[in-house]
Every structure is written in C-alpha cells, then in structure tokens.
A and B are shown apart, each in its own frame.
Chain A
Amino acid sequence: MVELILFYAFAAVILGSAVLMVTVKNIFHSALYMAASLFGVAAEFAMMGSFFLAGIQVLIYIGAIVVLTIFVINLTKQISGGPIPQTNEQAVPAAITGLLAASLIILAVIKTDWFTRIAQSVAQSEATDNTAIIGQQLLTNFVIPFEVISVVLLAALIGAIAIIGKDKEAAK
C-alpha cells in the first residue's frame, strides 16, 4: 500500500513537472522542471529495485545533461529571456498527436491479459538490488557494446570540441 502511494506521488512529480516543462514560458525554468521530472524517474527506478540506475540517472541526467543545458541556455540568453513566445502555433495538433500515442499504448495495456503472461514468482518478487548482476553482465556478455559505447562517447566529446572549439568572435 505504501508502495502504491509512493508510486503515485512520484508519478505526479514526473508528469506534473514534465507538463510544466513543456508549457512554461521561461526556458530556464523549463530546465529546472526537467531536473525535477528526471529526479522522479530516478525514484521510480529505485522503487523497481534498480538502485544503480537511480544513481546513474541522478549523476548523468541531472548532474551532467541538465547542467550542460543550463550552460547553453545562459550562453544563448539574449533571445531566451525576452518576451518572444516560446511555443509555436502547433499546440492543438501536437496535443492531439501526443494523446493519440498515449491512448494507443494505454489501450494496448488494458487489452493485454498480463496475469497469464507474468510468471507469478517473478511478479511477486521483492525489489532486490541487482547492481552485481549488471556489473557481471557488462563485463562478460556485453563487453563489446560496453567498449563501443566508450568510443561513441569519446567521438561525441571530440565532435563537440570540433564544432564549437573555434570561436573567432570571442578570440577577438
């Protein structure tokens, strides 16, 4: 019962800050609402027993991506702080598209008979910490993707430096 209350509380945090994030005028406030929403997702991960992923979510998303986004928002401040409307005129079609996508998935969830598909032993099992399993899997079965992703990150780093490294106007 406590779990259910916590689930709904965190779901309210996630969805409430997500809706505020896409509708609020100031893009800087939008970034802060994104941090709140991502924190809610981290809490849901923790409730599902993925404590490692909850930590990763806080460290990488909130600690790196949100901070990076705020840096870029501050570097492009002249237009972001002004009275220019931050949303375009597509609000109604966009809302229809989003609601259709969501209702399609929710309809599929309702129509699916989960209880015959979920093995009860798996479904009833308590949320346990599986950090050790993740570590073992990453260094045995998934070692090649693990190495490839490090190369991808290095390439992204070098690419970002190559794209914005030479600022001739600032050098003057």
Chain B
Amino acid sequence: MITLGHYVVLSALLFAVGIFGVLTRRNAIGVLMSLELIFNAVNINMVAFSRFLGPEPALGEIFTIFIIAVAAAESILGLAIILAIYRSRRTINADELNLMKW
C-alpha cells in the first residue's frame, strides 16, 4: 500500500538532488536543468497531496499544469539568455560570468 509519505519522501529526495545540482554545476545549462528537477519534485508533491487529501478532485493537477507551463516559459527564456551570453562572452560557466560583480 503506497501512502502519501512515500511520495513526499521521494519528492524531498529529488528536491535535495536538484539543490545539489543547482549549487555545484558550473555550466549554466546544468543549473537550469537542475532547476527542472526541483520543479518536478514540487509537481510530485502537488499531485500526491491532491490525490490523497485534496479538498476538491484534481485541484493539484491543475496547479501542476500551470507549473509545467511556467517552467516551459522559464526554460525557454533561460536558454535564450544563456545563448545570448554565450554569443557575447564565449563562455557559459557560471563562475566566469562575473561582469556584474564588483
């Protein structure tokens, strides 16, 4: 019998892996990809809570659809910005992009 706890623990572990990726990746694309892992951890939580103790049926699913749409928009813009940075700076390593540091 799968309980809500199973899904929440899975989501917590996926979230931790995503945080590790965001903090350790040098490549900015890698950081964006790890962000997608964090989004997915949140989505698992949303759907699990909606299925096990949702006040209305499918409420969490609808939130998840909106999260996926916003994640797609965020991914498009992030990758576009990374490509623009690559064209002007010839690097996308996050620790070499220190133009705005003082």
Which A residues lie within 8 Å of B80 (CB)? 159-160, 163-164
Establish whether residues A164 and B84, one from each chain, have CB atoms under 8 Å apart when the complex forms: yes
The answer to the question of A9 belonging to the interface, with a C-beta cut-off of 8 Å to chain B, is: no
Q: How many residues of B contact A (CB 8 A)?
A: 74
Which A residues lie within 8 Å of B18 (CB)? 18, 22, 98
| Chain B, Cβ-Cβ closest to A167 | B87
Establish whether residues B20 and A7, one from each chain, have CB atoms under 8 Å apart when the complex forms: no
Assembly CA distance A101 to B11 (angstroms): 11
Main secondary structure of the interface of B (DSSP, over half): helix
Interface residues of A in 13-44 (CB under 8 A from B): 14-15, 18-19, 21-22, 27, 30-31, 34, 37-38, 41, 44
Contacts A49-B51, A152-B70 given: A72-B77 contact, CB under 8 Å?
Answer: no
Q: How many residues of A contact B (CB 8 A)?
A: 84
Task: Please pick, from B23, B34, B66, the residue contacting A97 in the complex, using a CB distance under 8 A.
Answer: B23
Contacts A41-B44, A48-B48 given: A19-B84 contact, CB under 8 Å?
Answer: no
Contacts A22-B34, A41-B43, A163-B84 given: A15-B17 contact, CB under 8 Å?
Answer: yes
| Chain A, Cβ-Cβ closest to B69 | A149
Binding site for A on B (CB under 8 A): 1-21, 23-27, 29-30, 32-34, 36-37, 40, 43-44, 47-48, 51-54, 56-59, 61-62, 64-66, 68-77, 79-84, 86-87, 91-95
**Nearest 3 Cβ contacts at the A-B interface:** A22-B21, A94-B23, A156-B73
